[in-house]
A and B are shown apart, each in its own frame.
Chain A
């Protein structure tokens, strides 16, 4: 903007004007102040992350410093009973893994299937109807899904498998409903990846005599694989961090079990129950939610970074 010419505009020697001086950048304090303020706004996001890491770290430190607790026992013991000093996080982790597993059982294949249908098969009119429906599904608050799990999915499962085998609160019901909740996210992220594959690839495949299915599964899906895997990883991270469905439908009370029909408490469910109750500040019981929160934060952060890295590393770039 401030490129200036030293050559005078007129050739007459008497009229030489030094435009360099006139167009020199003026110091603008107001502009500077605004820019600094806007930078601070951007930096708030950093402060949030630092705040999360610092607070979780500090309070977890208090928890692990407690003589009743040691890190090895925390990570390996299979009983979690703060009242008698047993702090083994494994029951909470297995419950989280179970609900996540069932959620992924629904969300990944069906989400990808829906994405392939929407991107490769559906007519523009069908897409115009189906996509908003999926968006509505994605916008429903999770507590409503919790209600759905408890009043619809659980009775359904009890009807199928018998009410003696299926407890009222169970991880299967919570996991399946969580899968329904995450499905639209998987399908929309995967569909973005699929439709980013250039048309020329499809046309080349058709030209070589491939059927529609062969084109979709052998050409388009591999080309979009990095985006699809990223969607899958984000889906796992969503499932691990999901709280309300498990708080309503999976049951309360840690339980070391792999039986999907029994109640068990996930990490998020535990945090919700303890902090919703009246545990006094600075008891090991209360501090434990910070340790579990830290674990949860690290797991989801790791998964999110992994997904981003995969996209950046394995993206197929078409000019």
Chain B
């Protein structure tokens, strides 16, 4: 460091009184603290703006009032009672179609209940209010409802409910669920990790245990991995589109093995693309885990006559495993929220059937959130918020597992 004295500036002039210098110091400390506080408030605002929309008052209009169907609330009815309601209120043709898909006797009670709501009651949300307004301005909202929608009723409605998680995609927000998207996300992650984990760990072992740090080839590999981690995710999407969807379309659509896929916009392509995306992350994390294994362990193994691979397989890898798993979980939590590459690779905007295999068309939770967010109707924002909560809970639990693993690991070391 230079030896010249601290330069003079208005706020650090030694000729100024020490009280003044401390006062300036406190001002800046206030700014530094405010910056941190800003981040925390932003997080609070984000969580609030999402949670605020997951429940609240809605103006709902039923095609047929539930009270006209049964004297008791519909939730409390038995399967047989619900079937008779269905039979009495649907046209013969519609009832027969439903029966043909799957006979009513063989459907579960919950399915019948969904049918009664979806086919007979047919609720339509005309307006929905966020939770904060519903609690604070209830009287005003009731006045507004009475004026604008005298026919409809004002109810408290929860968008995030078990039904939302278990039911498939639907065109109307009141009935839509995220089962299709959740299963799609799970399949995507399974494929991407199956693909990226072995390669990522292999690369990390090579770079840490075998590679000569000074050789130019290995330095390029090193530099390259660091740079790949900084490439925007949408560029990976373009790469996936060019390679997996188009160049290898025959394989990824399943046409090569006799599967009737019409194009390569499948779960397989998307999973491989996400795999490429998390690969640099996996390599970097796994290398760090391998690096923490003490050298004495390797030397002891060599001293007992083990070969290099025996040393790695029986001693280095088991010791590094918790760290590698932590890194993998972090990679999964990155993969679960990626949206842009999936859009480019060609996620379906609207499918109602669950994924059946690697060659089916797909949607994923973040894609669903994106599609719902960009819809103009307020009710779609509500289900987008509910889906965001599900996504955030999944992420939070993944991260908690990672932290638990890390803590257990660091206690032992």
Q: Could you tell me if B221 and A244 are in contact, using CB atoms closer than 8 angstroms?
A: no
Q: Which of B36, B43, B224, B239 contacts A136 (CB 8 A)?
A: B43
Is there an interface contact between A140 and B392, defined as CB atoms closer than 8 Å?
A: yes
Distance between A290 CB and nearest chain B CB, rounded to angstroms: 6
- Given the known inter-chain contacts A49-B224, A141-B337, A275-B344, please indicate yes or no for A297 contacting B46, CB distance below 8 A: no
Chain A residue at minimal CB-CB distance from B40? A133
Q: In the complex, which of the residues A40, A42, A114, A241 contacts B211, with contact meaning CB atoms closer than 8 Å? A: A42
Query: B224-248 CB contact bits vs A (8 Å, 1 = yes)?
Result: 1111101111111111011100100
Q: Which of B153-161, B250-258, B368-376 contacts A (4 or more CB under 8 A)?
A: B368-376
Known: A121-B32, A141-B339, A143-B337. A49 touches B228 (CB 8 A): yes
Point out the residues of chain B lying under 8 angstroms from A272, CB to CB. 234, 340, 343-344
Residue of B nearest to A141 (CB): B337
- Chain B, 289-344, CB within 8 A of any chain A CB: 302, 307-309, 333, 336-340, 343-344
What residue of chain A has the Cβ atom nearest to residue B44's Cβ?
A133
User: Knowing A52-B235, A116-B32 touch, does A144 contact B6 (C-beta < 8 A)?
Assistant: no
Query: A72 interface residue, CB < 8 Å from B?
Result: no
A147, B369: Cβ atoms under 8 Å?
yes
- Which among A1, A152, A276 has the highest number of chain B CB atoms within 10 Å? A276
B226 close to A308 (CB less than 8 A) = yes
In this assembly, does B395 line the interface, its C-beta being within 8 Å of a C-beta of chain A? yes
Known: A218-B7, A272-B340, A275-B346. A143 touches B366 (CB 8 A): yes
Give every chain B residue within 8 A of A223 (Cβ-Cβ).
Answer: 1
- Residues 198-238 of B at the A interface (beta carbon under 8 Å): 198-203, 205-207, 210-211, 218, 220-221, 223-228, 230-238
Picked from B34, B223, B370, the residue with its CB within 8 Å of the CB of A244 is: B370
Q: For the complex, what is the distance from the CA of A151 to the CA of B207, rounded to whole Å?
A: 46
Interchain CB contact under 8 A, A110 and B340: no
Partner of B35 from A40, A117, A212, A316 at Cβ < 8 Å: A117
Q: Which residues of B contact A148 (CB under 8 A)?
A: 45-46, 49-50
- Choose from B1, B279, B369 the contact partner of A201 (Cβ within 8 Å): B1
A218 touches B239 (CB 8 A): no
A117 and B7 alpha carbons, distance in the complex (Å): 23
Residues of B within 8 A of A136 (CB): 43, 396, 399
CA distance A304 to B22 in the complex (A): 39
Look across to chain A and name the residue whose beta carbon is closest to the beta carbon of B42.
Answer: A180
Asked if B36 and A45 sit within 8 Å, CB to CB, the answer is: no
Residues of chain A at the chain B interface (Cβ within 8 Å): 1, 28, 30-31, 34-35, 37-46, 48-49, 51-52, 55-56, 59, 109-114, 116-118, 120-122, 130, 133-134, 136-137, 139-148, 150-152, 180, 183-184, 187, 201, 205, 208-214, 216-218, 223, 234, 237-238, 240-244, 247-248, 268, 271-272, 275-276, 281, 289-290, 293, 296-297, 300-301, 303-305, 308, 316
- A-B contacts, 12 of them at CB < 8 A, read A39-B206, A41-B203, A41-B206, A44-B199, A45-B203, A111-B35, A147-B385, A180-B42, A211-B22, A218-B6, A271-B238, A316-B1
B residues within 8 Å of A by Cβ? Answer: 1, 6-7, 11-12, 14, 18, 21-22, 24-25, 28-29, 31-36, 38-40, 42-43, 45-46, 49-50, 53, 198-203, 205-207, 210-211, 218, 220-221, 223-228, 230-239, 241-243, 246, 276, 279-280, 283, 302, 307-309, 333, 336-340, 343-344, 346, 349, 366, 369-370, 373-374, 381, 384-385, 388, 391-392, 395-396, 399
